[in-house]
Amino acid sequence: MKARNNRIANREEKQFFLFISPWLLGFLIFTLYPMGYSIFLVFTDMDMTGSGQFVGFDNIVRAFTQDPLFYRSLLNTLYFVLVSVPASLLLSFLIALLLNQKIKGVGFFRTSFYIPYITSGVAVTLLWGWIFNAQFGFINYFLSLFGITGPNWLSDTKWAMPAIIIMGIWTIGNSIIITLAGLQDIPEALYESAEIDGASSFVKITQITLPLITPTLYFNLVMGIIGGFQIFMQPYILTEGGPSYSTYTYMMHIYNSGFKYNEMGYASTLAWLLFVVIMIITLIVNRTSRHWVYYDN
């Protein structure tokens, strides 16, 4: 019996590795190897052809001392993250509260808010490019009805990044659905007990909903920070980093360094520096979460 069980266990083990082998090969070839090779590129000046030489820490020194676009792109990206992430969290929470109500047709509204998230990013970006058009865009036309002259959204250094942020907030459907799931996980008995005690809607939201939804908000916060630092497509398509580098993000700097200026070693350095920045901020958020994230267990 013991020998038979061993044969079954060995067969199941072989089947397990057989079934996961496609994923393992994909991980090794398309994830682990590129990551390891990019670390090697950090210490070289290689180009797209693979020619170059070992330069030590020159790429890191260059980023901090010789590249003004490094700081400009990083500050632009920080600006985007600091504005868009809190705004997305707040709007996701408020909209999820509305979508959590038991009203007729609520499924239609939930779908409507989620569709922008799964729609093609390029198509959405081009649509918002038309909406922000200074001459015939929808927003400036709407403002003109009230006698207000709208700004040149994508051509003004003061308004270009806010326009990108507004467009990014429009695609928060995933955060809304995740927040909605968190709201529906809160036991109804807590609200019923609060109503018996005479608690108002504001008290129920602040004393029951917010504390119990904090794990979901924490998840959305971390994912929003990671995604925000990787903003690339919207400014690249709409403004190409302009005007005057006001929307030039860090990911655009990585892309231009590697594929436009043919400096793969320096681009890899920028990528790993971004990884360090995201890691530090994520660890800070994780460390502070113990003071504001509530787990009912």
Q: Is the pLDDT of residue 297 over 70?
A: no
State the Cα–Cα distance between residues 57 and 269, nearest whole angstrom: 10
Provide, rounded to the nearest whole percent, the portion of the chain with pLDDT above 70: 98
- Banded model confidence at residue 220, pLDDT cuts 50, 70, 90: very high
Computed over its alpha carbons, how large is the radius of gyration of the chain? 25
What's the rounded mean pLDDT across residues 169-193?
91
Flag the least confident range among 111-115, 117-121, 218-222.
117-121
Q: Is the pLDDT of residue 252 over 90?
A: yes
Q: How far is CA 115 from the centre of its chain?
A: 17
pLDDT at 1: 63
DSSP secondary structure code for residue 54 in this structure: B
State the Cα–Cα distance between residues 6 and 13, nearest whole angstrom: 10
Decide: 242 and 73 in contact? Cβ < 8 Å: no
Decide: 207 and 165 in contact? Cβ < 8 Å: no
pLDDT digits (tens, 9 = 90+) for 263-282: 999 999 999 999 999 999 99
Q: Is the pLDDT of residue 134 over 90?
A: no
Decide: 248 and 254 in contact? Cβ < 8 Å: no
pLDDT at 267: 96
- Banded model confidence at residue 15, pLDDT cuts 50, 70, 90: confident
Q: How many residues does the chain have?
A: 297
Q: Which residues contact 186 (CB under 8 A, 6 or more apart)?
A: 208, 209, 212, 213
Amino acid at 42: V
pLDDT at 3: 67
Please, what sign has the CA dihedral across residues 71, 74, 77, 78?
negative
3-state secondary structure of 76: helix
Q: Is the pLDDT of residue 46 over 90?
A: yes
pLDDT at 65: 95
DSSP secondary structure code for residue 151 in this structure: P
Residue 122 burial (10 A CB sphere; 0-12, 13-18, 19+): exposed
Count how many Cα atoms sit within 13 Å of the Cα of residue 121 in the half-sphere of its side chain.
11
pLDDT at 124: 87
State the Cα–Cα distance between residues 69 and 56, nearest whole angstrom: 22
pLDDT at 67: 95
State the Cα–Cα distance between residues 289 and 292, nearest whole angstrom: 5
Q: Is the pLDDT of residue 6 over 80?
A: no
| Block residue for tokens 């030489």 | 53
Q: At what angle do helices 68-99 and 173-184 cross, to 10 degrees?
A: 40
pLDDT at 276: 96
* Residue 44 main-chain phi, psi, to 5 deg: -130, 170
- Banded model confidence at residue 245, pLDDT cuts 50, 70, 90: very high
3-state secondary structure of 44: strand
Q: What is the pTM of this model?
A: 0.91
pLDDT at 157: 93
pLDDT at 128: 92
DSSP string of 155-211?
Answer: T-TTTHHHHHHHHHHTT-HHHHHHHHHHHHTS-HHHHHHHHHTT--HHHHIIIIIHH
Average pLDDT of every residue of the chain: 91
